[in-house]
Every structure is written in structure tokens, then in C-alpha cells.
């Protein structure tokens, strides 16, 4: 459940871009607030992560922070 004060904060401030690795903990929650999201889809050595899977769809997706930073800096 999202607290009302948090919704009011986002409504009164500049747009927020939420960048995270976990679809379950981060992308789904930020998307529910109406925020744009970036998912850093880092490959895992053993193919498994520590978080649950989620059907959340990020606004943008990158395989690493370097590619994300390059996209931010490109004209």
C-alpha cells in the first residue's frame, strides 16, 4: 500500500525516473506510482537472482549501467 504523502510528494515535484535491478521490489512498485522506470537487467552468473520474478514492464531496459549512462548522455 502506498502512503498518501508519497503520492502527494510525486505530484508536487519534478518528474522522477526510478532506476533499479529488481522488477519485483522496484519496477513494479514505481510503475504503480506512475513513475517512469529503467530496469538494469544484469546477467546473473548462476542464472538465478535473489528476488521473486515479476511481470512488471519497465519504461526502458538496459543490460548494464554503462549503456544506461551512454543513453542519458547521447544527444
Query: What would the pLDDT profile of 16-28 be if each residue is shown by its tens digit?
Result: 888 998 898 899 9
What is the rounded distance in angstroms from the CA atom of residue 24 to the CA atom of residue 44?
A: 16
- φ/ψ bin of 16: left (φ > 0), alpha (ψ from -120 to 50), beta (otherwise): beta
Question: Cα 22 from chain centroid?
Answer: 7
Task: Look at residue 63 in the predicted model and tell me its pLDDT.
Answer: 92
pLDDT tier at 49, thresholds 50, 70, 90: low
Amino acid at each position: 500500500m502506498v502512503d498518501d504523502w508519497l503520492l502527494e510528494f510525486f505530484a508536487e515535484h519534478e518528474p522522477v525516473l526510478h532506476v533499479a535491478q529488481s522488477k519485483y521490489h522496484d519496477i513494479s512498485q514505481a510503475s504503480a506510482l506512475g513513475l517512469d522506470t529503467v530496469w538494469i537487467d544484469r546477467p546473473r552468473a548462476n542464472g538465478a537472482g535473489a528476488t521473486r520474478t515479476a511481470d512488471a514492464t519497465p519504461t526502458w531496459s538496459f543490460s548494464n549501467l554503462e549503456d544506461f549512462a551512454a543513453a542519458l548522455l547521447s544527444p
